[in-house]
Structure 1
Amino acid sequence: MNRRLAQGIDGERATTDRPPVEAVVALGANLGDRAQTLADALTDLARLPLVDGVRASEPVESVAVTLEGPDAAAPAYLNAVAILTTRLAPSVLLGYLHAIEDRHGRVRRERWGDRTLDLDLIAYGDARSTDPLLALPHPRAAERDFVLAPWLTVDPDAVLPGAGRVDALLARLGERR
């Protein structure tokens, strides 16, 4: 493991002293064999050190979202949500998520561009952070039905810290359409 992963983005260390926390990870892919990539990424998540369990939604398809908004002409995304029970510090977990993306050919050319794999840390227990390297909860999670809907299938009582119950957030999104 490289030093950045061992210490985490902000110097936190991976530790067995940390109590287990549920971390919510959104998975998405719109290039290549999307279903296989998501399945492989879930296997990678389950193999991480200090991860004691992974529960995942079934994949759902969604329209690509670009900086200009939804783009039906772009390759569609396959999305899923995984809930990890982990003792990894959030910054260490994020470092592992980036390493998994890299192993699956993720190239960061443009913001919100097409990708082989996208892993977003949506929530880490009740943690809150405004650090630009690790914003928690994810700042746009409450606006993304392709995150909220699969999350509900894994945890019907899910709550996005600071925003409220996931079922209510999803209902509000539906009302706006």
Structure 2
Amino acid sequence: MSRIGKKFINIPETIETSINGSDIKIQGPKGELIYTLPKCIEITEHNSIIKLLKNDNTKKTQALYGLSRTIVNNMVIGVSNGFSKQLEIHGVGYRCQMEDKNLILNVGYSHPVVIKPENNISIKVENNNFITITGINKELVGQTAAKIRSIRPPEPYKGKGIRYYKEIIKRKVGKAGK
């Protein structure tokens, strides 16, 4: 059984929180995030510490208890530090570039693939084959990175494709020639 929900969330001085029923709003130097807690979870704030409490003791409540605590903690980290994911492109002729705010990928298809980021997400390209995705919402950053990776996931024979930075790809042996 996970005990993540019982942990306190410490609020740094640069962050403001406001709790209105089951809604929590967190503002910081990078932006603001809002989250609505499930009805079976209560939230309290006292002396810059946030604590979550369960209303009942069912399996679903226990699962939502830990999840809600982690989401609120990620909100605090996001508005103070932010989150980032890095992707790298491997393959001959594979490259990427930015045009306005859109990411353009040339990864072996007959056409370039254009990706428009969400409102709170910023994408940067370095050396035509490194992509950095940053934002304050951990879920959106991870989802955007996964969406970009799914355009051309790394293949197991040559390792060509888009992969997370320092991701290890299990390689397969090709056909043996006679």
More helix by share: 1
Question: Which has the higher relative contact order, 1 or 2, with Cα contacts under 8 A spaced 6 or more apart?
Answer: 1
Find the structure with the greater CA-based Rg: 2
TM-score between the two structures when normalised by the length of structure 2: 0.33
More strand by share: 2
TM-score between the two structures when normalised by the length of structure 1: 0.33
